[in-house]
Structure 1
Amino acid sequence: MKKKNTQDQEVQGAQKNKQVKEIDVDQIDLERMKDRTTDLPALLEYAHSIGGFSVVPTEQGVIKGQAMTAMKEQTEMHMEQIYDQMKLLAEQAHKLKRRAEVSFEIYDAQMGFKPVIGNIYYLYEKKNKKILSIVSPQEWGKTMPFDQFLAKVKLLADHTWEVLEDPAGN
């Protein structure tokens, strides 16, 4: 019991000697603190502790710095090139997907003829039914008997369809 009272007295004495400062968590700038910390303090350009010495670049340090800058620029250039390639591949995948969708729509469509490889055809819709025609929307003029023009297509040798015109923009 006496030991506990002694500890309480020590805590009270410490509180009298030092003002207890409350920490306001909302005032802590974590982003700033993140910039001021590192797992590898030897890589910092300034002293990382009180009494530490500042790091002054040597000739070797300047050479390494220039090499690092060149490497960074090279890496960024290659990353941009890879990004452009990925973008192109994504566009090609989108076109291929659309080509497959149109091919399925055409083979589900009503057609009153046998399509010939290499010829151009037109896919229309009327009352929720797909119809393949050899007549273009311009040839129909104002008397077009369909509700909507869906695509201008060409039959390829592998019996898939190349989308030449896609009014829906897909």
Structure 2
Amino acid sequence: MIQAYNFLASWQLFPEKGVYEKGERPKSGTYRISNGQETDTPSIVVNMSWVTLENQSFASTYTVPADGTRYPTADNAMADEISARFPDGITFETIFYKNENPVVEIRHEIMPNGYLRVTRKHLGVEVFTNVEYYHKQMNVLPYSASVSGAVIRPTEEGMIRHKALTAMEEQTNMQLEQIRKQIELLALQAQEIQKRKELSMMIYGAKLSFQPVIGQVYYLYEKKDGSYTISMISPKEWGGGAGPFLRPIAPVKLLADHTWMEVS
């Protein structure tokens, strides 16, 4: 099953990356996806195990042909039927049914960084969604290449490679996060400059009867004819109103670069 190739591995949970709308964040977890026994309809075997913060261990497994057809489940306590399919090479979907209705939808996605994102949407009496992230264990495979294949065990070289990849990923993610924050800061600065530019164009389009002083606070008003003007008199000094003008706009200050900014 070519489309399953990217998923056939043992995956380790990132507990801190998950988003849980219901239930506690687990302490650790493992997700193993492997090929089932060769039959006329190839099947997928999913083994899940996790440990709670109280060190309680849980495990679950299911086997299903990935052809989109509904099949009876081995244990109908939670669901009567299950279906699975691979819409493409980076998506694996399973749906559990109870009394003909879907009760749990699980979407497995291979992300651009190689992580496995598992989204579980519960559709029972209470609807909620939990999202988990896993990284592939580089030094082990959860299956043999053939029935008689040798058991593959971690090697020193594999451990070194895995540690190097983990360190590389942490460093690059940290650098990307720093760049993202810098971009956000630049975007905020650009918005502030644009806002000052628009305010300055409004003021320089107004009639000024005096020479403004840098750093001095003035008050921008809209006149009754729709034009604008600045005054040294605040709305408070006009008795809380706009005096001879239509309405007050904002207090403003002239900066050293001759742009104007609104002040609180």
TM-score bin (small chain): 0.5 to 0.7
Partner of 2:199: 102
Residue 112 (1) aligns with residue 209 (2): yes
Alignment partner of 1:82 out of 160, 179, 183: 179
SS at match of 1:124: strand
Contact 1:46 1:54 in 2 (8 A): no
Distance 2:191 2:211 in 1: 28
Residue 32 (1) aligns with residue 92 (2): yes
Per-residue deviation at 1:49? 4.8
Distance 1:150 1:48 in 2: 74
Partner of 1:8: none
Letter aligned with residue 104 of structure 1? M
The alignment's C-alpha RMSD in Å is 3.0
User: Number of residues paired by the alignment?
Assistant: 138
Per-residue deviation at 1:94? 0.3
Distance 1:35 1:160 in 2: 50
Alignment partner of 2:222 out of 118, 125, 136: 125
Q: Which has the higher contact order (CA 8 A, sep 6+)?
A: 1
Gaps of 5+ in 2: 1-39, 41-66, 70-82, 94-107, 111-137
Distance 1:88 1:96 in 2: 12
Identity within the alignment, %:
42
Letter aligned with residue 188 of structure 2? E
Gaps of 5+ in 1: 1-17, 37-42, 166-170
Which stretch has the larger CA shift, 59-68 or 102-111?
A: 59-68
Determine which structure has the larger strand proportion and give its number.
2
Letter aligned with residue 210 of structure 2? F
Distance 1:67 1:142, change over 3 A: same
Alignment partner of 1:66 out of 163, 171, 177: 163
Contact 1:116 1:155 in 2 (8 A): yes
Which stretch has the larger CA shift, 125-134 or 26-35?
A: 26-35
Per-residue deviation at 1:48? 7.5
TM-score of the superposed pair, with normalisation by structure 1 = 0.65
Per-residue deviation at 1:55? 3.8
Which stretch has the larger CA shift, 73-82 or 153-162?
A: 153-162
Per-residue deviation at 1:97? 0.2
Per-residue deviation at 1:105? 0.3
Distance 1:57 1:86 in 2: 41
Distance 1:35 1:46, change over 3 A: farther
Distance 2:208 2:150 in 1: 84
Partner of 1:45: 141
Larger radius of gyration: 1
Per-residue deviation at 1:100? 0.4
Contact 1:47 1:53 in 2 (8 A): no
Distance 1:35 1:158, change over 3 A: closer
SS at match of 2:141: coil
TM-score of the superposed pair, with normalisation by structure 2 = 0.44
Contact 2:144 2:152 in 1 (8 A): no
Residue 56 (1) aligns with residue 116 (2): no
Residue 157 (1) aligns with residue 256 (2): yes
